[in-house]
Amino acid sequence: MSTILIVFTYAGYPLLITLLSAARKPPEPVDEETPVCVIVVAHNEQTRIAARVRNLLASEYPPHLLRVLVVSDGSTDGTAACIRELHEPRATVLERTVRMGKAAGLNAGIAAVSEPVIVFTDARQTFAPDTIRRLVSRIGNPAVGAVSGELTIESAADGTGRGVDAYWKLERFIRARESLLDSCIGCTGAVYAIRRELFTPLPEDTVLDDVIIPMRIALAGKRVIHDSGALAYDPQQLEPAAESRRKRRTLAGNFQMLFRYPRWLIPWKNRLWWQLIAHKYLRLLGPALLLAALGSSLLLCNNSIYRTALLFQAAFYLLAALGMLLPIRSKIVTLPAGFVFLNAAVVSAFWHYLVTPNPARWQTKR
C-alpha cells in the first residue's frame, strides 16, 4: 500500500488530473483595464528594490492605472529610502519599524490600498513586460478570483539540483492541469493576482500566503487559475543548499496549513478537498511511506516479490547517492537524487515546524 501511495502521489495524480482536464478549456480572458496595485513585502532589499520597482512600472499596462507599494518589513538598511529617492509618484513605501513577517506585511499593504486588483510579487524576480496585463485580463473573467503566473528558474548545475528542477517542472504541469479542471492548489508567490474584495486578513504567522489566500478565494466560490504566459524570472538557480532552506520553509507551511485548517479536508466544505490531499498532503507522508516500503521489504525478503522490491529500492538509493555526490547529469541519477532530497526536506520541515516559534519570518537569501 505504501508503494502504491508513493506512485500515486508523483505519477498517478498528475495522470489523473490530466485525464480529467483533457476536455476543459480555461476561462476566457477579458481585455478590460482596471486600476492595479503591485505589493512587494521586502526586508533589507536595498541592493535590488529600486530596480525591481522600475521593472514593475515599465510593464505594458496603462501608467495611470498602475502603482507599486513596497512594504518595508522592519528593514535596517536603506530599503525605504531607495523608494523615496526614485521620486516616482506611482511608487510608495509603507515603512514598518518592527519585522513581523510577510503575512503581516501583506495585511498592512492591502489595508492601505483601494485598487480592485492586487498583484503580489517579491523583490528578487523580474516580470516580463506583459505579465501584469495577462494577470489582469484573466482575473477580469467574473468566475475567476485569483490567477497565478509562472516562475522561470535557471536550471541547476549539479545532479540533486537538476532532480529538483524536474520536480519544479512537474509542479507547474500539475497546476496548469488543475487550473483547467477547476482551480489550482495555490499560486506562485512571486507572481499572482487576486480580486481585493476577496481578501481576508491572514494570521500573522502564516507561512504559505500563496496557498492560503487562493484556497480562501476558492472556498468563496471563485476559480483560481494558472496562466503559463504570465512570466516572472528568478535569477537564482535551484541549487541544493538554497533550495533546502526554501523547501523546509514551504513544507513547514504545509504542516501548518494541515493542522490549522482541518475543515478543508471535508468534502462538503471544500470542493477541492481531494486535490488538496493528493497535491499537498500526500507528499508530507512521503518519508513515512518510504520507510514503510523499505521496512516491509526487509521483513518479508524471503518472499521473492519483496526481495525484488528490496533490490529495486537499494538500486534506487544507490543512484540517488551517486547523483548527490558525483557531477553526473544523467536523469537516471538526478531524478532519484532530487526525489530523496525532497523527502529529506519533509522530515527537516516537520522538525522546523515543531521547534520554530515564528516560521513566517523568512530569510532574504534562498
Q: Where are the domains of the chain?
A: 25-236
Q: Between 317 and 244, where is the model more confident? A: 317
Contact by Cβ (8 Å): 334, 323: yes
- All cell numbers assigned to 53: 520597482
Angle at 101 between CA 175 and CA 179, to 5 degrees: 10
Backbone angles phi, psi at 182, to 5 degrees: -160, -75
Contact by Cβ (8 Å): 292, 2: yes
Q: What is the pLDDT of residue 6?
A: 92
- Region of 122 on the Ramachandran plot (φ > 0 left; ψ -120 to 50 alpha; else beta): beta
CATH topology of domain 25-236: Spore Coat Polysaccharide Biosynthesis Protein SpsA; Chain A (3.90.550)
Annotate the chain with three-state secondary structure.
CHHHHHHHHHHHHHHHHHHHHCCCCCCCCCCCCCCEEEEEEECCCCCCHHHHHHHHHCCCCCHHHEEEEEEEECCCCCHHHHHHCCCCCCEEEEEECCCCCHHHHHHHHHHCCCCCEEEEECCCCEECCCHHHHHHHHHCCCCEEEEEEEEEEECCCCHHHHHHHHHHHHHHHHHHHHHHHCCCCCCCCCCEEEEHHHCCCCCCCCCCHHHHHHHHHHHCCCEEEEEEEEEEEEEEECCHHHHHHHHHHHHHHHHHHHHHCHHHHCCCCCCCHHHHHHHHHHHHCHHHHHHHHHHHHHHCCCCHHHHHHHHHHHHHHHHHHHHHHCCCCCHHHHHHHHHHHHHHHHHHHHHHHHHCCCCCCCCCCC
Angle at 176 between CA 170 and CA 179, to 5 degrees: 140
Q: What is the pLDDT of residue 301?
A: 85
Q: What is the pLDDT of residue 364?
A: 46
Q: Look over the chain and give the mean of its residue pLDDT values, rounded to a whole number.
A: 90
Q: Is the pLDDT of residue 360 over 90?
A: no
Backbone angles phi, psi at 66, to 5 degrees: -125, 130
Cα 172 from chain centroid?
10
pTM for the full predicted model = 0.90
Using pLDDT thresholds of 50, 70 and 90, give the confidence band for residue 130.
Answer: very high
Q: What is the pLDDT of residue 157?
A: 56
Cα 165 from chain centroid?
14
The mean pLDDT value for 282-303 works out to: 92
Backbone angles phi, psi at 123, to 5 degrees: -80, -25
Question: Closest Cα to residue 78, out of 104, 103, 50?
Answer: 50
Q: Is the pLDDT of residue 361 over 80?
A: no
The predicted-structure confidence for 72-121, as pLDDT tens digits, reads as follows 999 999 999 999 999 999 999 999 999 999 999 999 999 999 999 999 99
Contact by Cβ (8 Å): 36, 355: no
The mean pLDDT value for 130-143 works out to: 96
Q: What percent of the chain has pLDDT over 70?
A: 93
Backbone angles phi, psi at 61, to 5 degrees: -145, 145
